[in-house]
Structure 1
Amino acid sequence: PVKDYGNVRVLRAQRVIIQQWLVDVPWARAGQVVFANGGDVAKEAGIIPQAATQPEDGGLVGLDLWGYYVAYDHPASYQSLTRAISHLDHVIGYFYQLSPDGQITGSVRPEVLRIAAAYGRPLHVMVKNQGDAEFGQALADPARRRRLVEAVLGLLADPAAAGLHLDIENLPAGSRDDLTRFVSEVAAGVRARYPGKVLSQAVPARTRDLSSGWAAPYDYGGLAAQLDYFVLMAYGFRTEASPTPGPTAPADWLAGVLAYTVDRVPREKLVVALPWWGLDWNLATGPPAISRRYSDIPPLMAGGDAAYVPGLLANRLRYTQAGQAHEVWFEDRRSFLEKVDLVRRYGIARVAGWRLGHEDPAIWQP
């Protein structure tokens, strides 16, 4: 069958039929023939049936799937990792925090190292900044920034670490250039000291250039040039602080995020991180909403009203507790896989899930 990604299509066919349109698309799987441009002519000429070009649910097949383990939710996140590991291609382990003065806190969970090694999965050690505005000041000071660079590079001395994953958030908008310098200096250190290891970074999603807000201080093109993998946090349209309920990654917003990003980040570097958690608003008291893992949802459905909303690629649940109305927006297997299909339509084959311990276990079913 053909996979239709817009300007690129993938199919299993006799190579000779479309040889003149053959192009190299690195995310295509073995045994597939890929063509573009002239492929439209072939379809219109009837060489390929129109019905064969309709998108289909690919599930996890052919997907390069990354999963986030978080030490602060042990053992739940680890138990999820044990269920998911055979389906994952990469594991990101959130083990460490980085202070503005360059101090690393946290430690690796040995059982996570063991299971990643047993299944031959690359383990990317994750470090997240602390201090927010003060961290931005540290990035602006060359000497302090150098201490930060040396601190995170030291995490790759662990032979079990296949890569370093940066999560630098909540910076002032004016930190954009300083953040890019920091990532550039880290990248140079990785290449010089740890050849063969990779550098990735989690980056907030947006649909346009911004001068303020959470997603503002990120130069997509500048960061992508330094990184091996650009992990797009494709969620956050609504958060716990949002005044009205709704999904954190609705379909139209997600499509806008993907369209904006692929114009600035090479597809072969792009990993799209999708949400696995839900948000529960008390309509009587208002925000903040509370975070819900999937295992929280079935008990709330008793006596509640749940429905999948196809236009949003998300689930809505309304229930009453202690006389107060609640509205929950949450993710399950269907919403996740339909988001994956949307990601595939943009020619992107790498997806991550935030985070292990929150997901619908049915995601791992065939």
Structure 2
Amino acid sequence: MWRRVLLTILLTGLLFGLLYLRKAPGSYLAPSETPLIGIDFTLSTPSPINQQAPGGDKLVQTAWIPDWGMSAGLTSFAAKGANFDSISPVWYYLNDDGLISTKKRNVDETKSLCQKYGVKLVPSIANFDSEQFEKVLSDPDLLARHVQFLVDEVLSNDFDGLDLDYESVELKYQPAYLYLIREISDKLHAEGKVLTIAVISNWTNSDIFRGLRQTRQAQDLATIASLVDEVRIMTYDMTSYSSTFAGPVAPLDWLEANLRYLITLVDPQKIMLGLPLYGYDGWSNNPTIPKPYLGLYANPGAGAGQADAVTYQSLDLARANLVSDVIEEFSQEQLLTYDYEGKRYFVFYPSVASTALRIDLAKQYGVKGVAYWRMGGEDLNIYDLLDK
């Protein structure tokens, strides 16, 4: 009997412990990113290891522009291009057959603005499907064609380089994946071009992740860093559009956890800290809840329980029905609250003030700069936090 009572007590304690980890302030873990073991992201103060000296090299900034948002992105770039080191329009994608499709939009305008401001044009190839990428990595002939096509595109269009954004790769193809990067690196560097790469957020070498576990393992950061000029870590979407609970996109303590880990593998002067220029709009059935991450549901108006992605310039409705707009205590991310048609909405988004905190963190860790996803629809004053 006493054993049964003891077992009941232990199981009850474990259950409450798990619930606490799930909902405790500072534990902003979207379902796809929830570790299988606990990690303390919360720090009372940043703990930099590579503080920049006054008057040292300044951080640089870059941004991606998606092909579907070129018009809005170029409007922003035209206004603030003088503050940028490079720009990366997403012009290349993998097809289902493993071949590359091009979506080069507004090329002449983009080139003209880059020349005007002295900004490097470094287009990006993006892929989010491991099965598509598998076709390339499992076929030596297709892999060679893939490499040569991208190199030829850079050279024939006189781009300054190339950005690789392969976001889903099976671990068994790691050798081919690293070989592909090395081949592109050798060919581009031989022509005086630059190579950058986007990598998945990562804050530990333990196999704790539920989402993109194999991709994180396949992305051998130390080896990759030796082959490229920039490692752009995608430290955003910790709470994503499909998360059950609303929460910050890039909480400050989570960013620092990523940096603490990354600098053990990568020269800080190759690291570009990824920062979001978007947020998510979710609502609660109960507008009296004390904290936004307790009991919030993603906005089903976007379909299938998914939240609405928003930019600073798309928040007119929210501002017209504003309840509050403050930097949230635990995440240090801007949190806008508004009421509409009987529901209370919560929008985590980047403001100038919250972005300044993240840039300060990047400076404290002595990294090369920041990389924004995505240019277009943002508060343009953010770009004045850094200049050339």
Q: Between the two proteins, what is the percent identity of the paired residues?
A: 24
Q: Is the 8 A contact 1:155 1:164 kept in 2?
A: no
Compared with structure 1, are the counterparts of its residues 362 and 163 closer, same or farther at alpha carbon in structure 2 (3 Å cutoff)?
Answer: same
Query: What residue number does 1:227 align with?
Result: 228
Compared with structure 1, are the counterparts of its residues 343 and 303 closer, same or farther at alpha carbon in structure 2 (3 Å cutoff)?
Answer: same
2:157, 2:70 → 1: CA distance?
Answer: 23
Q: 1:338-357 to 2 correspondence within 5 Å?
A: 338-357=357-376
After TM superposition, the structure 1 stretch with the greater mean CA deviation from structure 2, 79-88 or 135-144, is: 135-144
After TM superposition, the structure 1 stretch with the greater mean CA deviation from structure 2, 258-267 or 127-136, is: 127-136
User: What secondary structure, in the 3-state scheme, does the structure 1 residue paired with 2:123 have?
Assistant: strand
Q: Is the 8 A contact 1:180 1:223 kept in 2?
A: yes
Q: Is the 8 A contact 1:187 1:227 kept in 2?
A: yes
Compared with structure 1, are the counterparts of its residues 101 and 8 closer, same or farther at alpha carbon in structure 2 (3 Å cutoff)?
Answer: closer
Structure 1 counterpart of 2:124, which letter?
M
Of 328, 334, 345, which residue of structure 2 is paired with 1:309? 328
Cα-to-partner distance string for 1:35-86 (whole Å, 9 max, x where unaligned): xxxxxxxxxxxxxxxxxxxxxxxxxxx2211122222113111111111101
Give 1:315 shift.
1.1
Q: Is the 8 A contact 2:94 2:133 kept in 1?
A: no
After TM superposition, the structure 1 stretch with the greater mean CA deviation from structure 2, 257-266 or 201-210, is: 201-210
Q: TM-score, normalised by structure 2?
A: 0.75
Query: What residue number does 1:267 align with?
Result: 268
Compared with structure 1, are the counterparts of its residues 126 and 288 closer, same or farther at alpha carbon in structure 2 (3 Å cutoff)?
Answer: same
Query: What residue number does 1:84 align with?
Result: 80
Q: 1:280-359 to 2 correspondence within 5 Å?
A: 280-284=281-285, 286=298, 287-305=305-323, 306-359=325-378
Query: What residue number does 2:243 align with?
Result: 242
- What residue ranges of structure 1 are gaps of 5+ in the alignment? 13-27, 30-61
Which structure has more RCO (C-alpha within 8 Å, separation ≥ 6)? Answer: 2
Compared with structure 1, are the counterparts of its residues 241 and 174 closer, same or farther at alpha carbon in structure 2 (3 Å cutoff)?
Answer: farther
Q: TM-score, normalised by structure 1?
A: 0.79
Query: What residue number does 2:39 align with?
Result: none
Give 1:336 shift.
1.0
Of 148, 165, 168, which residue of structure 1 is paired with 2:166? 168
Q: Is the 8 A contact 1:276 1:336 kept in 2?
A: no
- What residue ranges of structure 2 are gaps of 5+ in the alignment? 1-46, 286-296, 299-304
Structure 2 counterpart of 1:300, which letter?
A
Compared with structure 1, are the counterparts of its residues 146 and 64 closer, same or farther at alpha carbon in structure 2 (3 Å cutoff)?
Answer: same
* Count of residue pairs brought into register by the alignment: 314
Query: What residue number does 1:105 align with?
Result: 102
Give 1:277 shift.
0.5
Of 134, 137, 154, which residue of structure 2 is paired with 1:136? 134
1:171, 1:235 → 2: CA distance?
Answer: 19
1:69, 1:134 → 2: CA distance?
Answer: 23
Structure 2 counterpart of 1:282, which letter?
W
Of 110, 113, 117, which residue of structure 2 is paired with 1:119? 117
Q: 1:32-43 to 2 correspondence within 5 Å?
A: none
Query: What residue number does 2:42 align with?
Result: none
Q: Is the 8 A contact 1:304 1:318 kept in 2?
A: yes
1:116, 1:156 → 2: CA distance?
Answer: 15
